[in-house]
Chains A and B, each alone.
Chain A
């Protein structure tokens, strides 16, 4: 099926693993060898020890859990809203024409800049963080759905019409499934952006979440804790991204197979 096949894939995975080992080793012994003090780049073992410490005494699990919850809520709500508006505008060119300048303006505005405003409105709760995530996830999903509907082959619609399809049938049997691959591309982007939105919200104000832990570590000049927070945030983003890919594989099972890295 694919050129190279199994052996080239195994070689790629092996090289990837070797790179990881090299990176971790460089992290552990590199700073000392280069004379970098540990409050600038703490070695791997120090960060590992801090991880255990944070887990025991700094409620690391709680902070991670809150951030995951906010990311999940923001991602799900933002995706739903983005898809809904995308389909709405896709089916009504008049609405798209009327709303597109405002949508564009809102898209250009840096969404994270809204974080302080939302905190002013809603206080030090989880809601402003979720709202930033919703706003940031909304656009890639909406734009991809809208573009998918705009670029459907008109002959496909005509074929359905010639078979006496109703408007609803055209949507459910053609437009909706056609929009799935681009929508998942939008969801992948949204999954990683949701983490950015939530973290910025937590950095700006609050006393819980990994973003808060990040500023807490910074305030104490606790570089290892900052590293722990960054690693945990990367993990949260990675899990969110992987979750989207797993669902995508089920939904888009009909597409020719491709590797996980093939479409990052």
Chain B
């Protein structure tokens, strides 16, 4: 079977999974479960087959399409196999398959499991469509479907039973799953629609939606665009709104921390394999066009793309990490971590165009971090789901000492956490250091420094999370469960098995980390420099060994963050509560971070309350007043001024005869006109 057929099948299988899951559910639950897992499995196999192509990047890209719309312009429905799409397809398909297996255990006995499994398959299919398509219209189809699936899965517990609410503890407000689903849909939707504007402006100049054609014709349409001052910057801002929304980057990042109202595996899907990665993917897709514009065509406005990407990334990474420091909900801490880590990926991609010599390094580092993050974050979320399942609480301070009861989950989560912190030899270490190295090589010191500070914060909140969940004393909640005769135990084999596989992949990726990085680098080099003929300058001689500097700084930053957290939450030598109580400055920061920099509250006040108030004003003040004027005041005025005529013509409210006479008069007039 040829590569392109495999790519088509890779996209198609999960959609078949949706249909077969539905049909098999009518036959037997086991067949339904088998169908729900079988098709993602086939997709994963296809993606792995595609991966072999990455070892021969000179044979790429490959493209196949059929015409979807021919008039008034051509839109194809096709697949594009190139290094970027292959890497993303493997990440999406393989991780999603493992998560789907986990779902069978996690969702066992749930009355809505058929709907859930169908939505998971649709989610995976949409994401594969997004990453494997060859044009921006179909990419947008996948983009919108991913948003819709996330809405359905985040709000899966649509009955809003109190046990599924997230947020808190009091006095912090709790929010219902249906609210969270709607929030995700609307916030990401804002970005989507703004991005649509950017794509359509590009189409106006480029006359094509095909990604490869956009690359190859950039020499024509980019200079044409540049003739209108400001249009490239405007287009950049519009285009990036979509990825910023989907990848939960500042300032559209507030939906993601609440997107974990859905079942545990949904969080894993959204954070690790699907939704948030789509934004990173799209930024990477746009890089060649803007790189060409800036470094080849000499259009200064094109550099705005990279500047915005890098700064959005680093600001998000820092802001989200500070929020992770104080989070009490286990999944929310992980959600902040996701937002922060995606920020790192954006830094790498931004650096790709901020220096003429970092194109390959920057792109590779961003995508490499995407790969390693996908694996360790999937593992973390699945483990978190297991722990929450056992502890019957979403809060970390309701756990403690869980390693006694869930040793396997503890080991797996520890491996993933070490990877998140970026400790060698885990893949997180290599990928994060590659990003830091790109920033240093591009000589963007403010971004580099902020990124290193964020490493400190990451190490702190990760150690704190592991300590609060698995170490220390048992919480009152755990004691309560035991008193009530509850049994806290390891998760079911399908659940810990899925986590175990992910942990093994993490370790494996760590062992071959430099090789993976090299493979990606060669793939991007062949694609960007070879196929697309983008020029890359050789970096000048550095005053010192940047690799060494980054490694040393990175490890020092990890120690700076992890050691205090170790003493507070694992060894429990220091009491974090006492430290906080002693320092009023720390209390201010704690409050500030706990309230998420007051960004969410600001959005709520301005965009939600403000819009609803405006809607009420329009509906009940403006419209009622206007309606009253048109339908009461004017008729009253007329009837008062012409009482004699009106008296003869007036209609009684329940007398249809008078109204019929009106119609007859009108049509007599009409006939008169026609026959005249």
> Are A and B co-members of a single complex?
no
Interface residues of A (CB under 8 A from B): none
Interface residues of B (CB under 8 A from A): none
